[in-house]
Structure 1
């Protein structure tokens, strides 16, 4: 750090710490939360760490200082992370008569507790669905005590829990041959599945809603949380998510059909949870055809993508869209697939 003024030295120390944390985060998808729960929490901050390293790189670049190499090298080492966070280009929607459109949307109980100051949220969501007309629709936090009816769709809604919280439902324009619930233990969260028939093909659709940390996302609420409590709570959540993913993978291993996995994972694409679900046989449809940050959760501090549509590698991704529709704390996503 020779030749740097005191202020620049302090900035470079902070830069070094941020670069180190991002470097550590690259190994997090390979570390089980059950073994290192506290460390796995770092995966949630990867988008922020990437943005900070980009800022530091630009800062040193504008000052024509060799310190720019630190963040540049770390960013290049994690180029796959950057491409997962932001898509600089996307494939256009490709029309094909064999396309299947799949939408996933956490509807937050249709605004049951008036988080949004509107009395028409439920009707607005239904209108949005009819406008987009997805062939397959997977909803999380669906109210089983106040269901919606969609003309032209078959549907399956598990009776996992009588509470209004955390329900899942799958609507399909194609006939449903088989359906069931994964029955995540000791939680309101769950996963369900259906086997649908399109012409001669049978496809398994999963709709997952993994454990939520329950941490508030507004600034005032976060001010009242201690860092120790946040780490412990999120770490415990990731352990539960791992158990739920293990149950899902055991169930999926017995399926002989091509598979599409949708849902609210309550975790990012940089986590052990995501890596395990995606495995070697699924593709992330956003990475194939998405655009921009692909933000799916209304988080004020940095873009979070925690809702996913993963498809068997035998599918061709002919389109992907994240909708800027604020009728929940999540944004709906839709993938266009061809088998």
Structure 2
């Protein structure tokens, strides 16, 4: 089995790899990898991505623990991080959406979008005529982020319309603040 990756984004495969690459935006922010693999007579492109986190969890936890924190400074800090995060996330989303749209092969996109299904990020990416494994074959809330309430789904398996998606489910484990997901894919 071979692995291809950059940072936290890895792809493991025992299929023949034709090409590999990094998903990168203009700011030199590497947030994903892809491999083109040969499966039977088809070439398929698999992505592993992790979009930018808004990075406000530490401030929120600190505020919950210490209510004496300067409220104005706290709100300004959160607003500044969110503004920066939104701006960078839009750039990442547009880059990823273009890379998906430009793919000459059917795609499978797996990863941590750090955004729920109602977000601009998710909607922009699925607008590339790709299906969500949870929508196709999941059940319940499908929450993938361990520490939030209400439950939220921010990790995805998406695939071109060329695939049937089956048996999506979230793996319940406490190895991370994110819960792993899996699904079966079949080429139509």
SS in 1 for 2:115: coil
2:79 is aligned, of 231, 235, 256, to: 231
Contact 1:283–1:311 (8 Å) recurs in 2: yes
| Deviations 1:73-109, CA, capped at 9 Å, x for gaps | xxxxxxxxxxxxxxxxxxxxxxxxxxxxxxxxxxxxx
Alignment match, 2:105: 257
**How has the CA–CA distance of structure 1 residues 168 and 283 changed in structure 2, closer, same or farther, with 3 Å as cutoff?**
same
Unaligned runs of 5+ in 2: none
Q: Residue 308 in 1 paired to residue 156 in 2?
A: yes
Counterparts of 1:270-289 in structure 2, within 5 Å, are 270-289=118-137
SS in 2 for 1:297: coil
**How has the CA–CA distance of structure 1 residues 184 and 156 changed in structure 2, closer, same or farther, with 3 Å as cutoff?**
same
Higher RCO, Cα 8 Å, sep 6+: 1
TM-score, normalising length from structure 1? Answer: 0.49
Q: Distance in 2 between the 1:218 and 1:255 partners?
A: 39
Q: Residue 247 in 1 paired to residue 95 in 2?
A: yes
What root-mean-square deviation, in Å, do the aligned CA atoms of Structure 1 and Structure 2 show? Answer: 2.1
**How has the CA–CA distance of structure 1 residues 208 and 288 changed in structure 2, closer, same or farther, with 3 Å as cutoff?**
same
| Deviations 1:236-255, CA, capped at 9 Å, x for gaps | 21210110122222322321
2:39 is aligned, of 189, 198, 213, to: 198
Q: Distance in 1 between the 2:26 and 2:175 partners?
A: 29
Q: Distance in 2 between the 1:262 and 1:303 partners?
A: 20
1:296 is aligned, of 144, 169, 173, to: 144
**How has the CA–CA distance of structure 1 residues 256 and 189 changed in structure 2, closer, same or farther, with 3 Å as cutoff?**
closer
Counterparts of 1:1-339 in structure 2, within 5 Å, are 153-158=1-6, 166-186=7-27, 190-216=31-57, 220-223=61-64, 226-339=74-187
| Deviations 1:273-313, CA, capped at 9 Å, x for gaps | 11111114101110111122111111242212110111111
Indicate the structure with greater helix content: 1
Contact 1:208–1:264 (8 Å) recurs in 2: yes
SS in 1 for 2:104: coil
Q: Distance in 2 between the 1:268 and 1:307 partners?
A: 8
TM-score, normalising length from structure 2? Answer: 0.86
Q: Distance in 2 between the 1:206 and 1:279 partners?
A: 16
Contact 2:59–2:78 (8 Å) recurs in 1: no
